[in-house]
Amino acid sequence: DPDMPFVPSIPEDQFILVEEGDPTFIPCRTSDPDAEVTLVNSLDKAVYAFYDNKQGFIGNFPAGSYTCRTMVKGVEFKSDEFLIYILRATSQLPVEIEALKTVYKTGETIVVTCVVFDNEVVNLQWNYPGKVKEKGLIKLDDIKVPSQKLVYTLTIPEASVKDTGDYECTARHATKEVKENKKVVITVHDKGFVHLEPQFSPLEAVNLHEVKNFVVDVQ
């Protein structure tokens, strides 16, 4: 089609997510398989890469904006703009689960954090006693400096005894068959309690000027 030399792209094709170090396609395809196509970056400089008229340009491209150009009967046509985002990902999936404390009283707020290191391409799921009732609030912090980590925080407000149990986070690599589970056990008591063991009798006698120690074991 001389009036439409580039096959129209859908928005999903224009945003390209690539794992660090992996090759990718910039999917500008032509309606004429013999068309000569040039790839240019955001600085309007030509980028040299292998072109497949059925898939587009393939290569290890830096993050940024790219456009394809071709000539039809002396007229230059431009493709849609393609944006490449580079995501950090490792083959391993280091995960840690953290709880400020593991014993709570009814009415307190439970906070459990799951941290994924050195990966931006992760799917994470929580399993916990109140999940069926969607009781938990989940927050994600994507920290880049000084190193990459995804911090998932699960908060259970107004905890009850029913919130006692296993709190587990499962991280899955978005593109590789890698997953990691971490678990912590949380206990919620109906009310607080103190156990006292006095190491003296209900009635004690002391002489004048005598120093007397009263020892109590508190748990």
**pLDDT tens per residue across span 65-109:** 999 999 888 889 999 999 998 877 777 789 999 998 999 999 999
Mean pLDDT for the stretch of residues 196-209 = 90
Instruction: Check pLDDT > 90 for residue 208.
Output: yes
Calculate mean pLDDT across residues 142-166: 92
Q: In order of start, what are the domains of the chain with their CATH numbers?
A: 9-85 (2.60.40.10), 93-187 (2.60.40.10)
Cβ neighbourhood burial of 33 (10 Å; 0-12, 13-18, 19+):
exposed
Cα angle for residues 61, 148, 97 (degrees, 5° grid): 140
DSSP-assigned states of every residue in 67-112 = EEEEEETTEEEE---EEEEEE---SS--EEEEES-SEEETTPPEEE
d(CA 68, CA 52): 13
pTM (2 decimals)?
0.60
